[in-house]
Structure 1
C-alpha cells in the first residue's frame, strides 16, 4: 500500500479520489471538481490517497495550523474492507502531523474533526460502503481518542448556498487524555478561519460562533 499526496486536479489520482468522494458522501459535503484546484495547491491542505493495486482505496484530507499547534481532519474515506485501511490512514496521517509539529519544536496539541451523529440523523448510507457506516466510524474515532465538544453544532454547506448542515458533532482528539476542555476562543477562531472560504454563512452558524465568543471554555465529553 502506498500513501501518496495529491496536489493537482490534473493528477489522475485526483479523478479517482473525487469519484470515490461522490460515491460515499452526500452532495452537500463534496466540493465541485474544478473548485479543488486552489485547495490542492495550498501547502497547508494535505490530501493523501491510499493506493492498492493501482486503485484509490482510501483518502484522507487534513490541515495543520502551526500558530495553534492543532490539526483538522477534513475527511477520511475507507473505501474497501479487509486492507486495514483505517489504521493505515490514521497512522500515516499522525506521522505526517507529528513531523510538521516537530519542525516547530513541539508535540501536536490535538486534532479537530466533524463526526456524524447517526443517533440524530439516520439518512446517511455513504453509498452503501459498509466501512463508512456512521455508527462504525463513530466508535472507531472514539477508540482513537476523539471527544465531543459540548455545543450544538452546525456547519455551512460546502455547496456555499447558505444552508446549515446538521447531524454532526464537532470533536477534538487531544494528545493528552487528561485534557477535559478547550478554550472557547480557540474553537471560534479555528472555525472562523476554517470556513472563511465560504461566503454564505447560515444564521445558525453565525449564532453558534457568536455564543462561543461569550464563553471561556467548552467541555470535552465522551463520544
Structure 2
C-alpha cells in the first residue's frame, strides 16, 4: 500500500478520492469538486490517499497550525475492509505531523477532530462501509486517545448554505496524556480560523463561538 499526497485537482487519484468521499459522507460534509483546487495547493494542508493496486482505498486530510502548535484531522476515510487501511493512515499521518512540528522547532501539542455522535446520527449509513460506521469510528478515536470537548458543538455546512450541522462532537488528542482541559481561547480561535473558508455561517455557530469566548477552560472527557 502506498501513501501519496495529492496536490493537484487534475490528479486522477483526486477524482477517485472525491468519489469515495461522496460514497461514505453525507452531502453537507463534502466540498464541491472545483473548490478543492486551493486547499490541495496549500502548503499548510495535507491531502493523502492510501493506494492499493492502483485504487484509492482510503484517504485523510489534515493540517498543522504552527503558531498555536496544534493539528486538525479534517477526515479519515476507510474505503475497504481487511487491508489495515485505518492503521496505515493513522501511522503515516502521525509520523508526518511529528516531523512537520519538529521542522518548526516544536513538539506537537495535540490534534483536533470532529466525530459524529452515533446516538444522534444513526440514520447515516456512510455508504455501507462498516469501518466508517459512527459507532466504530468513535471507538477507534477513543482507542487512539482522543477526548471529547465538553460543550455543545455545531459547524457550518460545507455546502456553504448557512445551515448548521449538529450531531457531532469536537474532540482533541492531547500528546500529554495527563491533560484534562483545554484553554477555551485556543478552541475559539481554532474554530474561527478553521471555518474562515465558509462565509455563510449559521447563527447557531456564532452563538457557539460567543459561548466559547466567555469560558476560561473546557474539560476533556472520555469519548
TM-score bucket (shorter structure): over 0.9
SS in structure 2 at match of 1:152: coil
Note the 1:108-147 alignment, pairs <5 A.
Answer: 108-147=108-147
**Take 2:112 and 2:136, find their aligned partners in 1: how far apart are those partners?**
19
**Take 1:12 and 1:104, find their aligned partners in 2: how far apart are those partners?**
32
The superposition leaves residues 51-91 of structure 1 with CA deviations (integer Å, 9 ceiling, x where unpaired) of 00000000000000000110000000000011111110000
Q: RMSD between aligned alpha carbons?
A: 0.6
SS in structure 1 at match of 2:81: coil
1:146 to partner: Cα distance: 0.3
**Take 2:9 and 2:64, find their aligned partners in 1: how far apart are those partners?**
21
**Take 1:106 and 1:134, find their aligned partners in 2: how far apart are those partners?**
33
Unaligned runs of 5+ in 2: none
Q: Which residue of 2 aligns with 1:20?
A: 20
**Take 2:37 and 2:105, find their aligned partners in 1: how far apart are those partners?**
31
**Take 1:160 and 1:182, find their aligned partners in 2: how far apart are those partners?**
29
Q: Which residue of 2 aligns with 1:218?
A: 218
SS in structure 1 at match of 2:82: coil
Q: Which residue of 2 aligns with 1:177?
A: 177
**Take 2:11 and 2:67, find their aligned partners in 1: how far apart are those partners?**
30
Q: Which residue of 2 aligns with 1:84?
A: 84
1:121 to partner: Cα distance: 2.0
**Take 2:131 and 2:120, find their aligned partners in 1: how far apart are those partners?**
20
**Take 1:14 and 1:120, find their aligned partners in 2: how far apart are those partners?**
31
**Take 1:188 and 1:59, find their aligned partners in 2: how far apart are those partners?**
27
Q: Which residue of 1 aligns with 2:8?
A: 8
Q: Which residue of 2 aligns with 1:68?
A: 68
SS in structure 2 at match of 1:177: coil
Q: Which residue of 2 aligns with 1:40?
A: 40
- Write out the 4+ residue segments of structure 1 that deviate beyond 6 Å after TM superposition: none
1:122 to partner: Cα distance: 1.3
**Take 2:30 and 2:151, find their aligned partners in 1: how far apart are those partners?**
25
**Take 1:36 and 1:42, find their aligned partners in 2: how far apart are those partners?**
10
Once the two structures are overlaid, the 10-residue window that deviates more, 113-122 or 147-156, is 113-122
**Take 1:94 and 1:149, find their aligned partners in 2: how far apart are those partners?**
21
- Give the paired residue count: 223
